[in-house]
Structure 1
Amino acid sequence: MENLKTRLREDMKNHLKAGNRVELMTVRNLLGEINTREKGGKAPVELDDAAVTALLQKEAARRRETAQTYTEAGALDRAASENAEAEIIEAYLPAPLDSAAVQGIIDSAIASLRADGVELSMRSMGSVMKLVSAEVAGRFDGKAVSEMVRAALA
């Protein structure tokens, strides 16, 4: 399975050949942002798919917020452009989960910890969240996941 950065690079080449200007510009900006994050710190790092996904989520959210600001200011053409970019970015994100699926993941994490002989209480929230977060990873609101785990442990 190819990783997300490889897919972005391939798509950039395809958009360049096809002459898709908006898609090309958006994917180029994403790759530039990834490159900046990898080389911008004290020591170069290699972003894995989870880190790239988190970055893409932030970029999509930023585009949506900017589009909202443009809409409120009456600049509808600019808002449409930002929304188009957000949709291009969101196509690279994993499909979101519904609350029933997240509850199932929480229940199985709790069951697995209990099977390992762990006595669960509110103090165990961190270990449950660690298991759940690894599986949910950006496909559901983190704050809502935390509240669901807290309710399950109560």
Structure 2
Amino acid sequence: MPLKDQLQQDVVKHMKDGDRVALQTVRNVLGEIETREKSGKSPVTLDDAQLTSLLQKEAAKRRETAAIYSEAGEQDRADRELAEAMVIEAYLPKALSREEVEAIVENVIAGLKEAGLEPSMRQMGQVMKPVTAEVAGRFDGKTVSEIVRAKLA
């Protein structure tokens, strides 16, 4: 089932369950999706990969906002933001562990070596492209970059 359809079905489920936080969060996310689809010169339909990226950004925004609230001493508001982030993260694919990402990076580097290339920092892009495609939203991109740098150094 497409991710957008799942979100729309869950609005009804959260209404029936009386889960106000989840209901409001899913509605906000659907609103953001609608805004993205209708913005621009012509309307578009976001695919699941684009929706996953959007959900990651929304969850990250809420975690950052929660940190700001915590620093300001507004713990109840921080808790609400974290609860919303958890609702959003439930729709994201299972995250990879650091060890799994390191194994993916090593496999890509080994594949390049078999193809006759000796990857170095100059060829970081040749390593990053297939790794990023395989990881695709299941691990932090900045950390992936750090792992690739460490393996190529």
Same fold, TM exceeding 0.5?
yes
Q: Does 1:38 align with 2:37?
A: yes
Alpha-carbon distance in structure 1 between the residues aligned to 2:65 and 2:49: 24
Change in CA separation of 1:76 and 1:122 when aligned onto 2, cut-off 3 Å: closer
1:48-63 to structure 2, matched below 5 A, reads 48-63=47-62
Could you tell me how far apart the structure 2 residues matched to 1:5 and 1:41 are? 20
Per the TM alignment, residue 59 of structure 1 is displaced from its structure 2 partner at its CA by 1.0
Structure 1 CA distance for aligned equivalents of residues 71 and 148 of structure 2: 37
Amino acid at match of 1:11: D
Count the aligned residue pairs: 153
Write the letter of the residue equivalent to 1:23: A
Amino acid at match of 2:96: L
Q: Distance in 2 between matches of 1:31 and 1:135?
A: 26
Which 5+ residue runs of structure 2 have no aligned equivalent?
none
Q: Which runs of 5+ in 1 are unaligned?
A: none
How far apart, CA to CA, are the structure 2 residues paired with 1:74 and 1:123? 46
Name segments (4+ residues, structure 1) moved above 4 Å: none
1:69 pairs with 2:68: yes
Q: More displaced, 128-137 or 114-123?
A: 114-123
Percent pairwise identity: 62
Partner deviation per Cα, 1:131-150 (whole Å, 9 max, x = no partner): 00011122222122112212
Partner of 1:23: 22
- The CA deviation string for residues 10-36 of structure 1, in whole angstroms up to 9 with x for no partner, is 111211222222111110100110111
- Please list the CA deviations of residues 105-145 of structure 1 after superposition, one character each: whole Å capped at 9, or x if unmatched: 01111222333444533332212111000111222221221
**Partner in structure 2 of residue 132 of structure 1:** 131
Q: What's the TM-score once normalised by structure 1's chain length?
A: 0.88
Question: Shift in Å at residue 94 of structure 1?
Answer: 1.9
- Mark the CA change 1:18 to 1:135 in structure 2 (over 3 Å): closer, same or farther: same
